[in-house]
Chains A and B, each alone.
Chain A
Amino acid sequence: DSGVTQTPKHLITATGQRVTLRCSPRSGDLSVYWYQQSLDQGLQFLIQYYNGEERAKGNILERFSAQQFPDLHSELNLSSLELGDSALYFCASSPYALAGVGDTQYFGPGTRLTVL
């Protein structure tokens, strides 16, 4: 158990809909990262938040957005869903804003999103 929690575990929805995925980082970690894992694309970094502020952006679509709240939990919002958005969405947390010698990312169990 990494200490990172994600809800829900599974989500099934239809094309065009909007969903929200939730992540609670490990106690004391200030950074939250979101990743998308699909069969053909592997693990894709989407976005990072540190202490409530957006820190880095990866391959995140404009239909997707995220935020980190004062209690440090984060939400990833996916809208106008398409079939291709079906994937595992992981969040990870770390204590650091910047990578350093001790940087480690602790992954949550993931949310499996299925778009029908």
Chain B
Amino acid sequence: GQQVMQIPQYQHVQEGEDFTTYCNSSTTLSNIQWYKQRPGGHPVFLIQLVKSGEVKKQKRLTFQFGEAKKNSSLHITATQTTDVGTYFCAGRYGGSQGNLIFGKGTKLSVKP
């Protein structure tokens, strides 16, 4: 079946270091969404990318969608302790009627 692979599974960084998580699909995605789940919390929508090669920024977060719409990345510049949590990508296949397929997430811990 369709799968969205997300790496790394875990990332430990020192506060102030950068962080990147990657998502890959073997087939073309209609769009991709990113969510953040704080420890003990629920997933919270961050952004949706739709266009090939799209880049969006939210303060220290940069989201990219690959040219072939098969991969995506989330980059955080100068991490802070408030960035701690698990970051999920969720890809949609099959146009607007497709279900969201979530990656397994990257758990980020930040050492102060």
Contacts and interface: CB of A to CB of B under 8 A. Distances in A.
A45 B101 contact: yes
B104 A42 contact: yes
A107 B42 CA distance: 6
Interface string B68-91: 000000000000000000001010
A109 B22 CA distance: 26
Nearest to A41: B104
Given A43-B88, A104-B48, A58 B43 contact: no
A107 B102 contact: no
Contact of A42 (B33, B44, B48, B103): B103
A110 B45 contact: no
Interface string B29-67: 011010100000111110010100000000000000000
Interface in B13-41: 30-31, 33, 35, 41
A56 B101 CA distance: 13
A45 B104 CA distance: 12
A61 interface: no
Contacts of A101: 48, 50
Contact of B44 (A2, A58, A98, A110): A2
Interface of A: 2, 35, 41-45, 48, 56, 58, 90, 92, 98-101, 103-110
